[in-house]
Amino acid sequence: MTADTLSRVFSALADPTRRSIVARLAEGDATVNQLAEPYRMTLQAVYKHLRVLEDAELVSRPHGPQPRPVHLETKAFDVMDAWIERYRRRAEQRYRRLDAVLAAMNETDDEDGAHRGRNDGDDHRG
Amino acid sequence: MEPTVAETMETIIEADPKLPIIRMTRDFAATPEQVLRAHTDPVLFAQWVGPDGMDTRIEHWDARTGGSWRFVSVREGVEYAFRGCFHEVRRDRIVQTFTFEGEPDGVALETLWFEELGPGRTRLRTQSLVDSFEGRDAWLASGMETGINEGYAKLDRMLADGAV
């Protein structure tokens, strides 16, 4: 993916309606009518969103005399995975900070435990 | 639940395909009591919750069943406020709501389970339920607006690494 396609992908997905369309298509192909159903918008507006997604090569819509279902391209799944991976990494960063907090708690708790142990006459040692 | 105690060193994430749920699993070298305390003690919580480069200011904190909380994250003078209720707080779990005040209609219902794996080892499982797939995608994409450059840089690296 070039930087140019990447920025097209990002701006295509910056819109919540288009993200929602992508999420719907992740479950399976759908016709434009089916895609329009959950939204209070004209078919024309849905076609407009689809064109943006098509330009970003996230969806494909075979042209022909019969309306064909809209299909989510593999790249879209990869981008969604990358999204989830970003979210996961943020969580992992958060939990690494928690690791450090817990390590500090362990030290304090150990000191308390050792202190109590001495007061108890070292019953639990040896 | 797995019968064997395999260590989950890195956070595992799952976006449920059928429900607008995000699940995560992560193991810690601490007792369940300690991991719970790091979630309920406001001083400890503020030390780890905020994203890197953000300071967390706890505004209100009542970590009891029926209690509530509010904190503010600050980056370069810009404040992001979050709040919610502690629906249930007990030894093995926390059930709470989570709202970003910038999107007050979006409420996540979060459940955290603290499971003992052995002496001094705890598995934390979390589940966040939102009201729609659109809402979940918004959570997943959150930070995209504020950290768009960071997002580009990371995705660029992933693309370079051949991960995408």
Does this model's pTM top 0.90? no
User: Hey, what are B103's tokens?
Assistant: 């999107």
Within-domain flag for B87: yes
Q: What pLDDT, on a 0 to 100 scale, did the predictor assign at position B66? A: 98
Q: What pLDDT, on a 0 to 100 scale, did the predictor assign at position B37? A: 95
Q: Which domain holds residue B84?
A: 12-132
Substitution target in A13, A88, A96, A99 with the highest count of B β-carbons within 10 Å is: A88
Do the chains contact at A83 and B140, CB–CB below 8 Å? yes
Q: Which CATH number is B59's domain given?
A: 3.30.530.20
CB atoms within 10 A of CB B127: 19
Within-domain flag for B35: yes
Per residue in A104-122, pLDDT (tens digit) is 998 877 776 555 544 444 4
Do the chains contact at B158 and A99, CB–CB below 8 Å? no
Size of chain B in residues: 164
Q: Which amino acid is residue B125, in one-letter code?
A: R
Residue-by-residue pLDDT tens, chain B, 164 positions: 444 455 567 899 888 777 888 899 999 999 999 999 999 999 999 999 877 778 899 999 999 999 999 999 988 888 989 999 999 999 999 999 999 898 888 899 999 999 999 999 999 999 999 888 777 766 776 654 343 344 444 444 544 454 44
State the total domains in chain B.
1
Q: Is the pLDDT of residue A51 over 70?
A: yes
User: Hey, what are A104's tokens?
Assistant: 């500090």
Burial status of residue A126 (CB atoms within 10 A of its CB: 0-12, 13-18, 19 or more): exposed
Q: What is the DSSP letter of B103?
A: S
Within-domain flag for B26: yes
Within-domain flag for B83: yes
Do the chains contact at B10 and A83, CB–CB below 8 Å? no
Please compute the mean of the pLDDT values over residues A95-100 and round it to a whole number.
94
Do the chains contact at A93 and B52, CB–CB below 8 Å? yes
Per residue in A22-50, pLDDT (tens digit) is 878 888 899 988 888 887 788 899 999 99
Q: What is the DSSP letter of A71?
A: E
Chain B residues close to A26, C-beta within 8 Å: 17
Q: Is some CB atom of chain B closer than 8 A to the CB atom of A56?
A: no
Q: What pLDDT, on a 0 to 100 scale, did the predictor assign at position B164? A: 41
Q: Which amino acid is residue B102, in one-letter code?
A: G
ipTM of the complex: 0.78
* Cβ-Cβ contacts under 8 Å for B66 (sequence gap 6 or more): B85, B86, B87
- The answer to whether the CB of A91 falls within 8 A of the CB of B13 is yes
Whether CATH 1.10.10.10 fits A3-74? yes
**Domain edges within chain A:** 3-74
Within-domain flag for B147: no
**Partner residues linked to B95 by β-bridges:** B88, B111
